[in-house]
Amino acid sequence: MHQSYTSGNRRYLGLPAMAIIIVTLTGCDPVYGIRARKIITQPPDDSCILAALKQTHGVKGVQTQTLTNQGWLVAGDGPLHGTPIRYFTYDIGGQYSPTLMIEGHGTEQFEYSDIMLSMHQKIPQSQIDHALPIMIEAEKQLSRSCGVDLVDGMKHFCDGSHCGL
C-alpha cells in the first residue's frame, strides 16, 4: 500500500494513494488501523528481517512478497518508480495481520512502515489492543537482530491519532 507523505518541500504521491484520496472524497470509508513509519539509512537485509519477525513473541508465521513500485515521484526525494517494495506480513493469530513494508526512499534512504490497515471498516479495538504490543515487539526484535533502529522516533498512530503509548 502506498501512502502520500510530505516532508518539507518533498512530495510523493503514488497512484494507490491518489485512488484512496478519490474514494475518500466521494464518501467511502477512510483507512482505519495502526500505522508507524520511519525513514532510515540502514538498507534491508531480507533474511535477517524474516528471521527477526519469526523470533518475535506472538508471531505465528510470516509471508513475504516483493513488488515493483508503480508510483511516480512528483518532486524531491522519495520512492522511485521501478524500485522494489518488500512486504513482510506476519500472522499474530487474529482476523488482521500486520505488515512490515520497506521501500527505497531516495538516495541511500529506506522507509520502514509497520502497518495493520482496513479500508472498509474499523478494526475492532480488541484486535488493535492485541496487535499493537506484538508490532512494537517486532520492531524491537528487528532493531536488536538486524541493527535497524525502529525504536527511536517510530510513532504509532491508531485511526489517525497517537495510540496512547
Extended strands (E) in the chain: 5-7, 10-13, 32-40, 61-68, 72-75, 84-91, 99-104, 110-118, 155-158, 161-162
Backbone angles phi, psi at 5, to 5 degrees: -125, 145
Note whether 50 and 88 are within 8 A (CB). yes
In the chain, where the domains are located: 5-148
Q: Which fold has domain 5-148?
A: Alpha-D-Glucose-1,6-Bisphosphate; Chain A, domain 4 (3.30.530)
pLDDT band at 7 (very low <50, low <70, confident <90, very high): very low
In this prediction the pTM is 0.78
The label of the residue with cell 513509519 reads: 37
Average pLDDT, the chain: 82
Q: Which H helix or E strand runs over 95?
A: none
* 8/14 Cα distance (integer angstroms): 18
Residues near 79 by beta carbon (within 8 Å), at least 6 away in sequence? 2, 12, 14, 69, 71, 73, 85, 103, 104, 105, 111
pLDDT band at 56 (very low <50, low <70, confident <90, very high): very high
At 68-91, the pLDDT tens digits run 888 877 776 677 777 889 999 999
At 91-137, the pLDDT tens digits run 999 899 999 999 988 778 899 999 999 988 899 999 999 999 999 99
Report helix, strand or coil for 109: coil
The label of the residue with cell 496512547 reads: 164
pLDDT computed for residue 2 by the predictor: 41
